[in-house]
Each structure stands twice: as structure tokens, then as C-alpha cells.
Amino acid sequence: MSHDEARKIRLIMSLRRGGITDSKVLGALERVPRELFVDPAFLDQAWEDRALPIAQGQTISQPFIVAFMTQALELTDRTKVLEIGTGSGYQAAVLAKVARRVYTIERHKELMTTAEERFARMKLHNIHTRIGDGWRGWPEQAPFQAIIVTAAAPHVPEALLEQLGEGGRLVIPIGRSSDLQKLVRYRRTKDGIVEEPLLDVRFVPLVPGDVKASATR
Ligand code: SAH
């Protein structure tokens, strides 16, 4: 068994111990080669359970958080899911293994170009990409049964709640400062939106506005 293979098995076991019980989610993390998504300088840590830096001062999330958020979305092979914050593309690739179709938005063109190359290498043809501001969601493709935001917002973006279908789940880190964020699941029910705090987390901020607008701030 290769060194990487042993680390991978150790990681999957620790995810299971940590409460990831959905075998579809565990299977997806096992099958998506995380070494393809990390910066070459951190290749030796690809199968460690930790977040790692990527280009543009962003991060690829910790595998446990990727697994936890994916599980919290309650996906099936019929679900259409929207992701805000493509980053390395790792979370999108995991979603693509579990859901029917993935729509993912990133504000940094350079990050998206690299992520798209990885999707092509993995032959993940069910991922659709857009460069732009995730605060607005993807209205042309709404409603979504699942929406995941992989950057922290001070409050839940109204457009994303609007694009959530009946019974749909939105999982998003909410918090202003980098050390006080709560992962929250919003669910659209017949009686309105139900909010459920899940976990303390630490994410990079969801930047408001498009790239040009925020560069002048
Ligand atoms: N899901 C990623 C982790 C992303 S880190 C992965 O698996 O690697 C958060 C990402 O959100 C960053 O790439 C950042 O550029 C992006 N982001 C931040 N604000 C955004 C916005 N308003 N619209 C779209 N993307 C945004």
C-alpha cells in the first residue's frame, strides 16, 4: 500500500469517527484525489485533515468540513446544487460525485481557470461554472434544492434564500470576524425558513460586490 493510500484510509476513518455517517459522502471524499487540488508545495499534506493555502490568499477547506457540509446538504443523485466560492474546486468535485448537477461561482478568474482544468482532468461533466459575485446567486438556474457557501458572510444573502426551492437546504458560515463564525443550515419549509446552527467554523470572508468594485474599496 502506498503512503498516500494509507493516509487516505486514516483520514476516512477519522471522518467516520467524527460523525460523517453518509456512505455516499465518505465514498466521494475517498474518490476525489485531493492531491490534484492542493498547491504543489503542500502535496505531502494533501490527505491530512487540515485546510491549506491556495492562490489569491484563499484556502482549500479541511476535509472534515467539506464532508460535514456535504452531508448537511442532504444530497441525492437527483439534487441540483449551487456552490458559492469555487476556490480550488475540491468541494465542487466532491458535490459532483454525490449530486446530479453542480453550479459553482467564483469571483477570481485565475482560481476558476485552474479549477476548470481539474474538473476536465477528472471528467466531471456535471459541473457548471460562472465567474462573478456569489451574493447574487444564479437566478437563471433557480430554484436549487441545495446551496452551499464556502466563505463566511455577516448575514445570510437574501438572493440565496430566494433561490432555495421548497424543502431546500442552504448551508453557510455566518459571522463577521474570522474567529467567530457559526455554520448554519437554513431550510425552506411550508411555514417559512427554519434556521439551525450546526458547528463553529473558520472561513475566509465572502467578499461583497464584483472584483473591480471591491478592488477600489
Ligand atoms: N470551496 C473551496 C474553498 C473556497 S475558499 C474549495 O473547496 O477549495 C472561498 C472562496 O470564495 C475563495 O476562492 C474566494 O475567492 C471566493 N469568494 C469570496 N467572495 C466571493 C463572492 N462574493 N463571490 C464568489 N466567490 C467568492
Domain boundaries, the chain: 3-201
How far does the centroid of ligand 1 lie from the alpha carbon of residue 147, in Å? 14
pLDDT 10s digits, 77-98? 999 999 999 999 999 999 999 9
Percent of the chain with pLDDT strictly greater than 70? 95
pTM to 2 decimals?
0.95
Q: What is the DSSP string of the chain?
A: --HHHHHHHHHHHHHHHTT---HHHHHHHHHS-GGGTS-GGGGGGTTSSS-EE-GGG-EEPPHHHHHHHHHHTT--TT-EEEEE--TTSHHHHHHHHHSSEEEEEES-HHHHHHHHHHHHHTT-TTEEEEES-GGG--GGG--EEEEEE-SBBSS--HHHHHTEEEEEEEEEEE-SSTT-EEEEEEEEETTEEEEEEEEEE---B---S-HHHHHT-
- Cβ < 6 A, ligand 1 pocket: 58-61, 84-85, 87-88, 90-91, 105-108, 111, 133-135, 150-151, 204, 206-207
pLDDT 10s digits, 149-182? 999 999 999 999 999 999 999 999 999 877 789 9
What number does CATH give the domain 3-201? 3.40.50.150
Q: What is the pLDDT of residue 86?
A: 98
Q: What is the pLDDT of residue 4?
A: 81
